[in-house]
Structure formats: structure tokens, C-alpha cells
Structure 1
Amino acid sequence: MKTVFVTAATAERKWYIIDAAGKPLGRVAVKVASILRGKNKPTFTPSQETGDYVIVINADKVAVTGRKRQNKMYYHHTGFPGGLKDYSFDELIDRNPVSPMEIAIRGMLPKGPLGRKLFKNVKVYAGPNHPHAAQMPIAIDL
């Protein structure tokens, strides 16, 4: 019996859709990162891009527990001296509603070229509408 080695060119790709409304931020991000890596497939290869595409809708209605809306901080440095910017979860949702979800997903992917390539396979939208109906995404319930 031979071992089947699947490459990015020969991998079978599907589209999935996840509704994040009312779901915990971390739980959604873990599921999305796992699907992007391809860990839900028997042909998972750590060094290859064999995962699927994921659409996340209602990212602005994601749930966080406790006082994380006011106390959870996101940091960004402009590159200039004294340029450290910080935003709470609420401030970041007001500025860019999809940013907390994207940051959480990106943090769970590998660092380097593979992670940057995998992150291009996730599409995050603040509302319930998305332009990917032609791909016929499969709904995943968490």
C-alpha cells in the first residue's frame, strides 16, 4: 500500500460558511483556523496548503465573556518613536468590525509564508451578506 501525498495543486477544496453571531470569538477562530489548515481532512499535510475556504459572516456580533469588551486591549505600533496605539475590543469593533475576528484567526495560523498564504483563504464579513453564493458554501454550526 502506498502513502498518498496530496499537494496544494491536487487538493480538493470546498467552501464553508460560519455564522459568528452570538458565538464566542475564540471558538469560532479555532474552528476556522483548523479548516484553513486542512486538519479536518484525512490527507492533512503540515507543510502544504491543503485546507478549505471559509466565509465568516456576522463577525461584528461575536460574543466575548466577562468584561473583555472594555478590558481586552489590541496593540499596534506605527513605527515612529512613541507610536504605540492601543484599542479596546469595543473601540476596535467601532473602527473596523471584522478586525478582532481576523486578528484571532491570524494568530492561530502558522507564522511565515504558509500562514500568510492560508489567511488569504478566509473571508470575514461584518453583516450577513457575502458575495460568494456562487461557490455554494456548506454551512457549519458550532
Structure 2
Amino acid sequence: MIQKSTHYAKQGEVARTWVLIDADGAILGRLATQIAQILRGKTKPQFTPNSDCGDFVVVINAEKVKLSGNKADHKVYYRHSGYNGGLKAESYRSAMEKHPERIIEHAVRGMLPKTTLGRKQLTKLKVYVGEQHPHAAQNPVKIELEA
């Protein structure tokens, strides 16, 4: 009897590609889930949960992302400095005015593992305001997101 073994992707044998995503008119949560799947490598057949086998993702037009329902009026981002009275709150609208790329990064960060592997996978995410990005030399493949 022949015993079949499971193949685990090793760090050096993973072929990484660059993916370009246009966030114009996309809903934030649905965009973030698909970005997180690409960063983790779940779209590849050789996906291994404990290794970094995902692709690089370039997101353009970060300022044109939308929220469903009336979340734009009620969503608040919190952070704490670690000191007494150090809780800071920022509304979604003011965060979009100041730094819209951080909104997408924050949403994707919440969908990745909270480990060193998740932090390493997040470094492959590049988010830009507007159409221009400095990764034209990598020839990113533009993909359409699922509705």
C-alpha cells in the first residue's frame, strides 16, 4: 500500500506575484477579506497555514473606499498609549480625511493572525491614495474583486 503524504510549502519554493487592487467604490470589509486571503496565500493550491506563502498586494484609490449602511457616521477607531487617560478616539470621517490608507491597513490587520507570521504577511500590503504607485517595475496583475 502506498502512503500519500501532505506537501507543505517551504519558504524558498513559494513563487510570489504582485497583485493590484483598485479600491474605488469597494466596501471596506469585503475588500479587506479578499486582501487578507491573498496575503495569507489562501488563493494558492499550496497554502500552508504556518508559512508565509502569500502574494504582494498593492491597493490604489484608498480614499474612495466605502462603508455599508450608516457605519460612516458611527464607526470610531480607538488606541491607547498605555498611560492613565491615554485613550484616543478618532471617527471614521476624520481618519479618512487625514490618512485614508491606514483605514484599509487597520481592517486587513484585524483579519490576519495575531502572530509574528501575521505581522510578516502585513508587510506585503502596500496601500496608496490615488492612482499612482511606485511598484510599476514589479508588473502587478490587476484583479477584479468579487462582488
**Normalised TM-score (structure 2):** 0.92
> Hey, what's the Cα distance between the residues in 1 that align with 2:107 and 2:100?
13
Superposed CA deviations along residues 47-103 of structure 1, whole A, max 9, x for unmatched, are 000111000111111011222222101101122211111111101111211111000
**1:82 matched to 2:88:** no
Look up the match of 1:35.
Answer: 38
Identical positions, percent: 49
Q: How many residues align?
A: 142
2: CA distance between counterparts of 1:5 and 1:109? 20
Distance 1:21 1:82 in 2: 38
Instruction: Note the C-alpha offset of 1:27.
Output: 0.8
The separation in 1 between residues aligned to 2:73 and 2:90, in whole angstroms, is 9
1:46 aligned onto 2:39: no
Paired with 1:4 and 1:65, the residues of 2 have a C-alpha distance of 40
- C-alpha separation between the residues in 1 aligned to 2:63 and 2:110? 18
Aligned to 2:63: 60
What per-residue deviation string (whole Å, max 9, x for no partner) do you get for residues 23-48 of structure 1?
Answer: 00011100100000000011000000
Whole-angstrom CA distance in 1 between matches of 2:40 and 2:123: 12
Q: Within 1, Cα distance between the matches of 2:10 and 2:126?
A: 23
Tell me, in whole angstroms, the C-alpha distance in 2 between the residues paired with 1:6 and 1:71: 42
1:129 and 2:136 are equivalent in the alignment: no
Equivalent position to 2:99, from 96, 99, 114: 96
Alignment of 1:97-112 (within 5 A): 97-112=100-115
The list of structure 1 runs, each at least 4 consecutive aligned residues, that deviate by more than 4 angstroms after superposition, is none
- The answer to whether residue 116 in structure 2 is matched with residue 113 in structure 1 is yes
Q: Which residue of 1 aligns with 2:17?
A: 14
Structure 1, gaps ≥5 residues long: none
Task: Tell me by how many angstroms 1:4 deviates.
Answer: 3.1
Task: Give, in angstroms, the shift of residue 2 of structure 1.
Answer: 5.2
Larger radius of gyration: 2
SS of 1:82's partner is: coil
Partners of 2:144 and 2:101 in 1: how far apart? Answer: 20
Letter of the aligned partner of 1:65 in structure 2?
S
- Structure 1 stretch 116-125 or stretch 62-71: which is displaced more? 62-71
